[in-house]
Amino acid sequence: LNRTVPDEPLTVTVSRHGWIRSRQGHGLDGTQFAWKAGDGPLAILETRTVHPVVVLDTLGRAYTIRASDIPGGRGDGVPVTTLIDLPPGAKVAQAISGVPEQKYLVAGTGGYGFVATLEDMVSRPRTGKTFMTLNADEEPVLPVVLAPGFDHVAALSSRGRLLVFPLAEMREVPRGRGVIIIGLDGEEKLVAV
């Protein structure tokens, strides 16, 4: 079934408990979004109807949802599991959207990461594909869009340590574990890049 989707601005919201919905347009007032009790925003993505929405789970798998397939309206949306098949024990960790050639810095809480394009994360089946190699106690941190002029990586640990180094030291690979971004001690985690 090859249907043509008009290219329109769309805002997609994903909640921490895994509910997804869309609204037409950009520049929407995020304070006007309602969430179920005890839930809240995980990602608010300004995208376009023709762009893929990529969901990363806590196991490092990447899933693709066509932005045009995400239900709209003012309700809570639908559980993301109605659009993708998460394996047992996996939860939605992050969500991003953009043009397929857009590069991202992706990393896990274990301190490893790499540069990949959104296209590297795109998968056809509902079951997604293995994208990030993570240990059992790790999960993806929020991927960072690599915009022109971004030439350094800043890594923040759960102990408040900050490391800054040239982006050129990162490897660009389509999947895997990548290179060590920051050395961590004991229970310390990478919280953001």
pLDDT tens figures, 49-63 = 999 999 999 999 999
For position 3, what pLDDT does the model report? 66
Q: What pLDDT is attached to residue 156? A: 98
Contact criterion met (CB below 8 Å) for 57 and 65: no
SS3 188: coil
d(CA 3, CA 150): 37
| 186 Ramachandran zone, left/alpha/beta (phi>0; psi -120 to 50) | left
**The pTM is what?**
0.93
What pLDDT does residue 75 have?
80
pLDDT attached to residue 18: 95
Q: What pLDDT, on the 0 to 100 scale, is given for residue 191?
A: 98
For 93, 124, 132, 144, 172, the CA distances from 109, given in Å and listed in that order, are: 11, 27, 11, 14, 19
Q: Low-confidence residues of the chain, pLDDT below 70?
A: 1-3
